[in-house]
Chains A and B, each alone.
Chain A
Amino acid sequence: MNFLFTISIRNLFRQRRRSILLGSAIAIGTAVLVLANAFAHGISEVLFNEIVSYVSGHVSVSFTKGGNANNQVFHDGARIREIINKRVPNVKRVDEAIGVFARAIGNAKADNVILVGMDPSGDGVDEKEAEKLAKNFKELEGHFADLADTTVENPVCLAQEKAKTLNVKLHDVVRVRFTDIRGQTQAARLTIVCIMKPSNVFMAAPVYLHIKTVKRLLGYSSNDVPQLYLSIENPRKDAKRFADSLHAGLNPPLAVIDGQLSVHGSGVEVTLLSLRTDSASLALVDSAMKFSARTAADSVNPKKAVIISESLSKITGLQPDDTCTISYEGKFGDEPGGARLIVTAIAAAGSGIDGQVVLVNERDFYKTFYDVWPKSTVAVNGPFRPDTEIGIYKAFGGEWLLAPRSRTTRDVMKLYREIAQKGWKAIVVDVGSMYETASMVLNLEYALNMITAACVMVLFFIILIGVVNTLRMTIRERTREIGTIRAIGMQCVDVRNSFLIETGLLALISALSGTALAFVTMFGLSQLTFKTDANPLGMLLVDGHIFFAPTVLAVCFFIMLIVGIAVVTAYFPARHAAKLSAAEALRHFE
């Protein structure tokens, strides 16, 4: 075998110019391939680690209230966090995500801004995260950490460009007008504690406040949570799986309010259930329930229905059009909940709701339920708990509405259109992984990978044509030499192998050289600084530099691929040379 290597290497050096030309082509091709892959992988890393995790989290949970996608609130935050901890193991960080449009007035200048909440020193922000934060928000004046300063009125950090637009300096006050989570127009004074230079143009548009400040300004109570972004250890592998698991864990229980119904000065314990008022549920009510009394208005507009059981009517004397009040114990704090209801119908006995129960249209029910979250749950005994087998059970609402899992960004957008359209009164909980919520961003990575694949194809043809052409010429030039070595006893297979080893060695040396060239080029390109202040493509850079992320696995794969392609391509001409008879080869003359 050694002599074959010797012959192959000698042949390579003997036809130095040709070897250099072909080797250069292969090396450049390899360099392009490694470079393109490292660039695509780098972009992918930036997208995943710097953008997707901030824009949508690896896994996100949204809570749309009142059909308004901008109104993100869930009133029992501790419970959601408990479910997350149970269902998503090794969650690195759970971020509360709030972004609200506002009108800002600086020093005689006004501009639209987005108020964004963040917690620079929150749980899960380790040294690495802090470094990343410092890198993304370069402090020019003041300190980012001052966002948590409680002695300053609503501390805020904004980008240098935004400060210029609003004509403000450090410690100046910016007034903002915005709509809070109740839909009320509010105003606040924000004190600038930090002016920074963000790493990309997108981070320059918002103004940053501590998450606690934004929550307070927007009217979130201590138990409320906004949209949640979960960062996990291995997002590519686990994001979808964890989202599915979390979705399963967020199946809502039946919503019940156990309280005291007061009428004519006397009280009775009752359970309030939510009655869905979509057309399917109303049809179910009409088919599954019989009414012993009903107001004319209820027949016309069942969306305002308040239905009591016949037995409750007998106990309380309540009739359609009568008014009663409900009071109940809240889950949080001392504040009791309550509602004033006008009875619209009495369900006849045998409708499945025989007992101390009031079915309340979902609009009035959820208004009450979310105003003061009740202490009662369906899991504990109360005045009435419906049998899950009764026909009307499906018309009863849960504590929230769980949206089905979306598969693409398009599906997510469709879901939000549906939420606005259907006018669901319950909070709609939606769980998404980055693969759905940011699928359009991830499509960019796919496109880059396709470009790399195209490079491979181009390279393949360069090698194919180059190697075939070179070997054909070599074989033609060496035909008499082949005849000589065959005549002195060299076997066909050795002739073939000598050509294959020669090509393989050339490809290997070229690929290694190309890889080295790629790394040198990467180093050179990553030293260049691009000023992309107003260019959205700036988000793909890290500190204004192109970020390459070559991997050992990919580089080894590409080298093996190129050597493999070269050897396979050389096989057929080499076999042809090996099959030449010694006498015929010796007669060859050019």
Chain B
Amino acid sequence: MLRILGCILLVGTVAFGAPKIDSLLSGYDDLYRQVSDIRAVVHLTQQKVNQGTKKLEMNYYRRDSDESFLIIMTGPEAEKGNGYLRVGDNFWMYRKNTRTFQHINRDESIGGSDAQGDDFEGRLLTEMYAPVKDSAGNEMISEEMLGKFSVWRFEVIAKVNDVDYPKKIYWIRKDKPVLLKEASYSSSGTLMQTLYYLTFTEIKERLVPVKTLIVDEFEKGNKTILEISGISTDKLSNDIFTKAYLENLSK
């Protein structure tokens, strides 16, 4: 659902003069590869119909060189101290109350939210999606206005099975390669979710979305606001991606 780090890493050097979908995707991936270590504070505000608002806050650490990430929940009180650690193929959930680590799957919910473990992975778009072509073999890319911005709108389809959504549509600004909107579809063509990237900040000459609105299109009225702050791309210590560090953080 939330390709959080994908958003963080979406920065502005895509060759918008030649809007081939592959080049847009690989440009995205190239930039994605350039950053390995990330630290940030993530706030999730989740509104559900008849269930009120739920706010989650977490510290997030990621290192792509060995496919690791660590999440430690800092709010609400009920979730505080719980955490998630992924190192390579291993993915653990840590429960503060029982002080135990439990192996979980990639699709496990994070802190009871709609975010899943695999949303926090760093996967290449070019490995997951390919351009959708029309019957004449032309890529489904067009020019549109999104609010006050002129954008490229293009469709991609999953070329591997292990993706959340089999079809997506992206809207990228023409003047700057900034992703503004992302719509996710099921195989039956039902619009399931739309992401709006609302606010950006510049970090090391890159525009990073720091506020994203995620609209559940299936169950109308459900939405999540994702806010990222305290972003740092400094190299992270090896000690961070360990059970001991997570256990220590949760104290």
B18 CB, min distance to chain A CBs, angstroms: 26
A504 CB, min distance to chain B CBs, angstroms: 62
- Residues of A contacting B192 with CB < 8 Å? 177, 185, 187
B190 CB, min distance to chain A CBs, angstroms: 4
- CB pair B104–A420 under 8 Å, yes or no, is yes
- Residues of A contacting B175 with CB < 8 Å? none
What is the predominant secondary structure among interface residues of chain B facing chain A?
loop
Interface size band for B: 20 to 34
What is the predominant secondary structure among interface residues of chain A facing chain B?
mixed
- CB pair A184–B49 under 8 Å, yes or no, is no
Say if the beta carbon of A79 comes within 8 Å of chain B.
no
Say if the beta carbon of B166 comes within 8 Å of chain A.
yes
Assembled-state Cα–Cα distance A371/B162 (Å): 12
- CB pair B161–A103 under 8 Å, yes or no, is no
- CB pair A179–B89 under 8 Å, yes or no, is no
A182 touches which of B66, B89, B161, B188 (Cβ 8 Å): B161
Mark each residue of chain B from 158 to 171: 1 if its CB lies under 8 Å from any CB of chain A, else 0. 10011111100000
- Residues of A contacting B107 with CB < 8 Å? 68, 179, 183
Assuming A68-B107, A187-B192, is B162 touching A105 (CB within 8 A)? no
Assembled-state Cα–Cα distance A301/B89 (Å): 12
- CB pair A185–B186 under 8 Å, yes or no, is yes
- CB pair A110–B103 under 8 Å, yes or no, is no
Say if the beta carbon of B219 comes within 8 Å of chain A.
yes
- CB pair B103–A184 under 8 Å, yes or no, is no
Assembled-state Cα–Cα distance A177/B219 (Å): 9
B33 CB, min distance to chain A CBs, angstroms: 15
Assembled-state Cα–Cα distance A177/B188 (Å): 11
- Residues of B contacting A67 with CB < 8 Å? 105
Mark each residue of chain A from 383 to 419: 1 if its CB lies under 8 Å from any CB of chain B, else 0. 0000000000000000000000000000000000100
Assembled-state Cα–Cα distance A219/B49 (Å): 30
- Residues of B contacting A363 with CB < 8 Å? 89
- Residues of B contacting A480 with CB < 8 Å? none
- CB pair B187–A175 under 8 Å, yes or no, is no
- CB pair B218–A184 under 8 Å, yes or no, is no
Besides the contacts A175-B218, A185-B184, what 14 more A-B pairs have beta carbons closer than 8 Å? A66-B105, A67-B105, A177-B186, A183-B107, A183-B162, A183-B163, A184-B158, A184-B165, A185-B164, A185-B193, A187-B192, A188-B188, A219-B187, A420-B103
Q: Which 4 A-B pairs have the closest CB atoms?
A: A182-B161, A187-B190, A421-B103, A187-B186
Question: Hey, which bits of chain B sit against chain A, CB under 8 A?
Answer: 49, 66, 88-90, 103-107, 158, 161-166, 184, 186-188, 190, 192-193, 218-219
Contact sample, A vs B, 14 pairs, CB 8 Å cutoff: A66-B105, A103-B218, A105-B219, A175-B218, A177-B192, A177-B218, A184-B163, A184-B187, A186-B187, A187-B192, A187-B218, A219-B187, A417-B103, A421-B103
